[in-house]
Amino acid sequence: MDLGIKGKVAIVTGSGQGIGKETALALAAEGVHVCVNDVNDEVGLQTAKEVEDLGVKAIYVRADVGSEQDIKDMFQKTAQELGTVDILINNAAISPKVPFEDIPAEQFEQVMKINLLGSFLCSQQAFYQMKEKRWGRIVNLSSMAGRFGANKAGVHYSATKAGIIGMTLSLAKKMGPYNITVNCVAPGRINTALTQVLPKEVQDQIRSQIPLNRFGEPSECASVITFLASEKAGYVSGACVDILGGYIA
């Protein structure tokens, strides 16, 4: 199915690996030019190469989404080399595994800065460019932890992912008059490096709670994100799509 976004320009934050990488590749497969962002040059450059191999233009920009200046520079470089942004995927996040009672204030602030403030600042920069064209798609990454509260994740991570949902609802109202849709997805247990490091008995215990009896794949999240970023989802805005394999808290 042609999703109607060939030739569009996307920024995918944190796209060196995992869901971000698969989303960059899924967008590229639809003919979208992609700015790959990460703070790990090795994986970021590799993703950009794989995107280019799909026949579209790609750049890699090392940028810390916790830095307002880095974000401004990333959007400026993307506009110069690929064109102004049509699609923004706010994927970059950190998730320190620290018990609630041991979380220092500085770590809480760092998680808030990268996960929530970073998504806000990227959305702000995207809005400046999208509103001139009166077309845009923003998809934010929330989490099962943001929908139902933290279990294995930290309380600070859960708080930022819940904040993402509230921000999505507000931005959908703000940006709608400019024909910009804003949605989020809330993945559950996905087969990424973060899941793979868990002990087998923990993985088995988690899997037993999922009706589909397996973890999701990053590509399965990417396909939902890509649809929300497409012309075909033009009347979907302010939604939070759960990708949980049937799990209900």
Using the Cα atoms of residue 41, residue 88, residue 112 and residue 68 in order, give the sign of their dihedral. Answer: positive
**Dist CA 18 CA 247 (whole Å):** 21
**Dist CA 95 CA 212 (whole Å):** 25
**Dist CA 246 CA 243 (whole Å):** 8
List Cβ neighbours of 216 (8 Å cut-off, separation of 6 or more). 187, 188, 189, 190, 191, 243, 244, 245
| Catalytic member of 60, 128, 157, 235 | 157
The amino acid occupying position 245 is G
List Cβ neighbours of 204 (8 Å cut-off, separation of 6 or more). none
128 assigned to active site: no
Q: What are phi and psi of 105, to 5 degrees?
A: -60, -35
- Looking at residue 198, the DSSP 8-state letter turns out to be S
Active-site positions read: 157
